[in-house]
């Protein structure tokens, strides 16, 4: 499956202001990065491009792994389903970036999240934020997919949830088997989405462009 960004319906994920300036973990991580650079035979003293790389990498890790801090988890604001809406709600083509836990290189792509409500509905901007939060940690695409479905099931208690992630893994493309452009697709299915007709409706909505 290929996908093109269709961002008009998607609220941008909140940019976390992390790490905070002076976060002591920057000083803890940086010497290790410096050591890796040294072992690779490079100099942080003579190469101006490498002088601050240790701290830059430390800050970057704290930023892209900010989802390890439960305190940054977005609160899922839910509302009573007063309209008794019982059809499918879908946010699709949500861009995300994560880091593969096996190699610490990026995997990235788009997420499609759908649910069919019961008593509660969720603010739509929360779905991209939730994906962003769980993506910001060393991850497996399979686990990320399941985590999203699990949290939505737990907190919304909907009739069902379905999450599909489509991603390119740089650990596959840049190294190892080197398969540029291949896309990994994962899905997590809960409740009413186990029924074939409901899954077909999901795929139908997914295919609809514009």
Q: Which stretch binds Zn ion (CB under 5 A): 20-28, 95-103, 123-131, 175-183?
A: 95-103
Residue with tokens 């029924």: 195
Residue with tokens 């290929």: 2
| Best CA proximity match to 160, nearest among 204, 207, 201, 208 | 201
Query: Per rule CB under 5 A, is residue 100 in the interface with Zn ion?
Result: yes
| Best CA proximity match to 3, nearest among 168, 155, 117, 134 | 168
Query: Per rule CB under 5 A, is residue 102 in the interface with Zn ion?
Result: yes
Question: Is 161:123 a contact under the CB 8 Å cutoff?
Answer: no
| Rounded least distance, CB 99 to Zn ion, Å | 9
102 vs 208 by CB, closer to Zn ion: 102
Query: Per rule CB under 5 A, is residue 60 in the interface with Zn ion?
Result: no
Applying the rule CB under 5 A, the residues between 167 and 186 that interact with Zn ion are 171
Length in residues, the chain: 210
Binding residues for Zn ion, total number by CB under 5 A: 4
| Rounded least distance, CB 19 to Zn ion, Å | 24
Query: Per rule CB under 5 A, is residue 103 in the interface with Zn ion?
Result: yes
Cis peptide before 19 (omega within 30 of 0): yes
What is the contact surface with Zn ion in residues (CB under 5 A)?
100, 102-103, 171
């Amino acid at each position: 499956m290929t996908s093109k960004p269709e961002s008009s319906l998607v609220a941008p994920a909140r940019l976390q202001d992390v790490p905070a300036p002076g976060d002591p973990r920057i000083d803890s991580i940086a010497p290790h990065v410096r050591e890796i650079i040294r072992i690779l035979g490079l100099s942080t003293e003579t190469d101006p491009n490498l002088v601050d790389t240790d701290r830059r990498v430390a800050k970057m890790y704290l930023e892209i792994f900010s989802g390890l801090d439960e305190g940054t988890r977005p609160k899922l604001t839910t509302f009573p389903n007063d309209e008794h809406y019982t059809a499918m709600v879908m946010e699709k083509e949500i861009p995300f970036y994560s880091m593969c836990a096996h190699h610490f290189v990026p995997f990235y792509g788009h997420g499609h999240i759908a649910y069919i409500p019961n008593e509660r509905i969720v603010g739509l901007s929360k779905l991209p934020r939730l994906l962003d939060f769980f993506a910001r940690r060393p991850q497996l695409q399979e686990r990320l997919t399941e985590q999203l479905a699990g949290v939505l099931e737990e907190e919304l208690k909907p009739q069902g949830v379905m999450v599909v992630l489509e991603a390119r893994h740089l650990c596959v493309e840049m190294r190892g088997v080197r398969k540029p452009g291949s896309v990994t697709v994962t899905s997590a299915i809960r409740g009413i989405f186990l029924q074939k007709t409901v899954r077909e409706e999901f795929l139908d909505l997914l295919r609809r462009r514009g």
